[in-house]
Structure 1
Amino acid sequence: MNKTKRAIFQSAIKIFSTNGYDGATMDEISASAGVAKGTVYYYFKSKDEVFKYIITEGVRLLRQQIESINIGEGNYDYKLRELSKDQLKLVYENRDLFKVIMSQAWGGKIRHFQLRELLKVYMEDIENFLIKAMDDGTIKKCESSFLTYIYFGTLVSVAVYNVINNDSMKLDEITDNFMEHLLNGIK
């Protein structure tokens, strides 16, 4: 992505995060990016197109992490911890993007369905990862689809917890706590 498109991308995330989808305007995005409105329209035909680009890139980042850890060295006990840590780190480093994605996951408009389709593919990546962890013996065998949503929901909750508590916990500490409760339950 070139410098101008990156500036538009980052500004759009900020504007969507602050104002919500409905409150965001192409004028605000262009002003925040420091480019003419026509420049924004050169790269994106509409606010919908900007939004779609943001969510596509955001989910692509999440999926890339899964792929890189999956093909990396180590057993799945190690890989599961690294995946959890890296996913949390990505959320913390891209809070506004995370906020945009999570705020738009519900609803009945085309953009909501598009986001859910992207998240569905991401969830399939997580599920495939967890199946390999089951096959490796790292986690007990169970219904993988349900486990995937438990994993994702818990990970999102941990991210929200840390944001609400002003990042009082360090990433390694959060990951250790997450892994302890994920692998050993709350019993």
Structure 2
Amino acid sequence: MMKVMFLRKSKTNLIFQAAIDVFSEKGFDKATMDDIAARANVAKGTIYYHFKSKEELFLFLVEEGVEMLREGVESKLTEDLTPREKIELILREQISFFGQYRDFCVILLRESWGAEDRQLEFRKMIRSYMALIEKVVQEGKDAGVFHDVSAENAGSALFGMAAIAALHILLGKGDYDEDKLFSDLKQIALSGLLK
């Protein structure tokens, strides 16, 4: 029984990676289940056994990726960190995640703004990550170290700033210098542009 479960998990992982590759290369609209099956070296029926449609597979990828990002950040946020240190950690981890999972970053940020249904699902999925950022912003406001801004606006701005800056570099095929990107975004997020 464990062998079957391992086989299924292994096939799902093959499909997962193949879908990331194909969606990042061709985009959602041009990618086909045949392309994904060929890349995963599995029968198309195997994909349909796990996922009812290309849309469902895409949403699964986004959900899994966002969950990996959230769990990775959340596991490093400790109570002994100040709100400022937590924001720095969130920025650094998000930049690092997008550098490590470049193709996923491209899919997440380029394709998630497609069909209206996909946008709604994306917003639901990203909500748990945004809530994590909002909680830190609220903590900083309550401690009197952050300005009295909307935690929701600040959370989406911090996520969006790091995400779009990363995407700009990744799509431009430039050198993804995580340290420089982190340094710039930390300056902008925590001290602003004005001297």
State TM-score, norm by structure 2: 0.84
Matched, 1:9 2:52: no
Question: CA distance change for structure 1 residues 47 and 154 in 2, over 3 Å: closer, same or farther?
Answer: same
Of 168, 184, 188 in structure 2, the residue corresponding to residue 181 of structure 1 is: 188
SS in 1 for 2:98: helix
2:164 pairs with 1:123: no
> Displacement of 1:168 after TM fit?
5.4
Alignment correspondent of 2:94: 87
> What amino acid does structure 2 have at the position aligned with 1:167?
D
| C-alpha distance after superposition, 1:96-138 (max 9, x if no partner) | 1111111233244322221122123332222112212333444
Q: Kindly provide the CA deviation profile for residues 28-54 of structure 1, in whole angstroms up to 9, marking residues without a partner as x.
A: 101101112222122222212211210
SS at match of 1:106: coil
Does the aligned pair in 1 maintain the 2:87–2:133 contact within 8 Å?
A: no
Aligned pairs for 1:155-166 within 5 A: 155-163=162-170, 164=172, 166=174
Q: Give yes or no for contact 2:133–2:155 (8 Å, CA) kept in 1.
A: yes
Q: Deviations over 1:131-150 (max 9, x none)?
A: 12333444333222222222
What code does the residue aligned with 2:175 have? D
Q: Within the alignment, does 1:142 sit opposite 2:142 as a pair?
A: no
Is this contact kept in 1: 2:105–2:167, CA < 8 A? no
1:47 aligns with 2:54: yes
**Residue 110 of structure 1 aligns with which residue?**
117
Is residue 20 of structure 1 aligned with residue 36 of structure 2? no
When the two chains are superposed, the root-mean-square deviation of aligned CA atoms in Å is 2.1
Hey, what does 1:167 align to over in structure 2? 175
Tell me how many residue pairs correspond in the alignment: 186
- 1:39-78 to structure 2, matched below 5 A, reads 39-71=46-78, 73-78=80-85
Q: Which runs of 5+ in 2 are unaligned?
A: 1-7
- The 1:165–1:72 alpha-carbon spacing in structure 2 relative to 1, beyond 3 Å, is farther
Task: Out of 97-106 and 135-144, give the one that drifted further.
Answer: 135-144
- In structure 2, relative to structure 1, the CA distance for the partners of 1:53 and 1:165 (3 Å cut) is closer
Does residue 153 of the first structure (1) align with residue 160 of the second (2)? yes
Share of identical aligned residues, percent? 31
Conservation of the 8 A alpha-carbon contact between 2:86 and 2:136: no
Which residue identity lines up with residue 18 of structure 1 in the other structure? E
Change (3 A) 1:162 1:109: closer
How far apart, in 2, do the equivalents of 1:7 and 1:108 lie? 26
Whether the 8 Å contact between 1:55 and 1:101 is mirrored in structure 2 is yes
Return the TM-score normalized by structure 1.
0.87
Deviates more, 1:81-90 or 1:152-161: 152-161
Partner AA of 1:112 in structure 2:
Q
